[in-house]
Amino acid sequence: MTAPASCGEILIVEDSPTQAEQLRYLLSKRGYPARIARSGEEALALIRSSAPALVISDIVMPGMDGYELCTALRQDPDSSTIPVILLTQLDSARDILRALESGADSFVTKTSSEEHLIGAIEDILGAIDSDTRLLSCHSNQVIYHGESFLISSGREKILSLLVATYEAAVSKNKELIAAQNDLKEINLKLEVALEEVRELSLHDPLTGLANRRMLDIGVAGSLARAHRSNIPFGVIMMDIDHFKKYNDTYGHDAGDRILETVSEILKEEVRSTDLAVRYGGEEFLVLLNDFEHDGALAFAERIKVYISMKAEITVASDWPGIEKGSPLTPL
């Protein structure tokens, strides 16, 4: 929504040049002409020479702060009816009471959305155009945490400012929830990425089998179980026969396909409790848990037959040993 054609100038009171220019740019996008005062004292001088349609003032400023500027405007008959929006990082109950005491029309936190600020401006200027803006009436003393505040605004104006503050709180809460959801999504993606990195660090990228790092972990676990419960485990090492000659004759792509075929056979035949490893180059290793000598030997012979049938190659196998709760014993 853009500003009405009859909209007067808005005075921005902000000691930070960057924030002042950002706010002026925001207002200009919506069709609101604006000028800037760097302090409360400069703002009073500008207002005396040419009264703006609305004042948007920071609260925390050196010298005269936003509360004092608003109070000074209300005490001067020539500026008492100029609406004031206090724009600040502060958002406590005490800050709101001070805003009411100073006679502010609205209270917007700097963390609020652009739409929330523009909505507050439109509400105030719309009330002026329709002659519905309520001015101060009776004064009432409010005690908060032992501190006294003299509130001279009418009930409707107090309600209006509290509603504006509530809307800012709701908007901030929605932004926090959105930020939390974004953070959860980022964390989930990070967990997935970390798991992928972990998988890559423990598996051979070509065949998908475990690598030597994963083998170290598997052997450590098997050794611990063997020593603790006297559960035997076996290790089979396999080497593809004449693989270098095959690579030289048919090319590395064909060699890779042979490696992948052998790997698929191992994945199909090896139990989930065992571990198939690409040990390096054309060398493979199978870690067999809870296997006695004869069973492990039969498994090795079966794998050799399957590989020769499906991959049309042969492999040589060797036995480092079977662990039975003591150091590896060569067979």
Cα pseudo-dihedral 9, 15, 19, 21, rounded to 10:
50
In this structure, the number of other CB atoms found within 10 A of the CB of residue 288 comes to 23
User: Do the Cβ atoms of 61 and 39 come closer than 8 Å?
Assistant: yes
Could you read off the pLDDT of 244-296 as tens digits, one per residue? Answer: 888 888 899 989 999 999 999 999 988 888 999 999 889 999 998 887 777 78
According to the model, what pLDDT value does residue 201 have?
Answer: 84
Higher-scoring residue by pLDDT: 63, 144? 63
Higher-scoring residue by pLDDT: 156, 183? 183
Domain ranges of the chain: 10-173, 212-323
With tokens 């009776």, the residue in question is 138
Tokens of residue 43, six digits: 């703002």
- In this prediction, residue 134 has a pLDDT band, given cuts at 50, 70 and 90, of very low
What is the CATH number that goes with domain 212-323? 3.30.70.270
Q: What percent of the chain has pLDDT over 70?
A: 77
With tokens 């698929």, the residue in question is 264
Give alpha helix (H) positions in the chain. 17-29, 40-49, 66-75, 93-102, 114-129, 155-202, 212-229, 243-250, 252-269, 293-310
Mean pLDDT, residues 216-221 taken together: 90
Topology of domain 10-173, CATH: Rossmann fold (3.40.50)
Question: What is the Cα–Cα distance from 11 to 51, expressed in whole angstroms?
Answer: 9
According to the model, what pLDDT value does residue 91 have?
Answer: 61
Could you read off the pLDDT of 68-94 as tens digits, one per residue? Answer: 999 999 899 999 889 999 887 766 667
Question: What is the Cα–Cα distance from 322 to 290, expressed in whole angstroms?
Answer: 10
Question: What is the Cα–Cα distance from 22 to 8, expressed in whole angstroms?
Answer: 19
Higher-scoring residue by pLDDT: 129, 221? 221
Mean pLDDT, residues 113-140 taken together: 67
Q: Is the pLDDT of residue 309 over 80?
A: yes
Burial class (CB in 10 A: 0-12, 13-18, 19+), 13: buried
Tokens of residue 292, six digits: 């006695």
According to the model, what pLDDT value does residue 327 have?
Answer: 33
Q: Is the pLDDT of residue 194 over 50?
A: yes
Same fold for the domain at 10-173 and the one at 212-323? no
User: Do the Cβ atoms of 35 and 46 come closer than 8 Å?
Assistant: yes
Global pTM exceeds 0.85: no
